[in-house]
Amino acid sequence: LHEQDDGKRLMGYVEGLMLPGGLDVDPIHFGEEPWSELGEINPIWDELELMACKEALARKMPILGICRGAQLLNVAAGGSLYQDMASQVAGPLHRHFQRAPQSYVTHGISVADGSLLKAVLGAGEVRVNSFHHQSVKRVAPGFRVTATSTDGIIEAIEAEDYPFALGVQWHPEHLVWDYPIQLQIFKDFVQAA
């Protein structure tokens, strides 16, 4: 309890929260038992990031989630994940864990009209890189899907009635040199903070 209180107090010193990529999210946090294809988890990291994200949401603080960070944002707000898309999603899937350089875009996404993401990117169709086997399953209350890949996987979520809470399933930090529009995601997040 003391560590939780310290974490909440420390959140008072930040103006925005960026949640990076990383390991899998423990399914205990969305009420499921571990699937056989679940990857490596870190309970301490999950606890820290979930606490920070819930606190940021309560304060209406700007939030940017990247890959695992998008998944964690969804879980913190009450949603769930596919623990392993290949074994849990019906139908053929794109390769969502690419075997190509990090700065190479391997599949397309459709961005929803009227979304924060479309305003940021200025386009309804973009190509992205991809390094994940988990993804958003049940979207959290108060959030909506704002991008999907052509195989139906959720590629972005954002909070409704919220200044800036965006989760993207790809890694824009690896794309900013070759695809400068991806830098706008970070610029808009910083401006919101």
Catalytic site residues?
A: 67, 171, 173
- Dist CA 33 CA 83 (whole Å): 10
41-67 residues labelled b (16+ CB within 10 A) or e (exposed): beeeebeebbbbbbbbbeeebbbbbbb
Q: Is 150 helix (H, G, I), strand (E, B) or coil?
A: coil
Q: CA nearest 184: which of 169, 171, 168, 172? A: 172
- Dist CA 83 CA 26 (whole Å): 9
In one letter, which amino acid is 164?
F
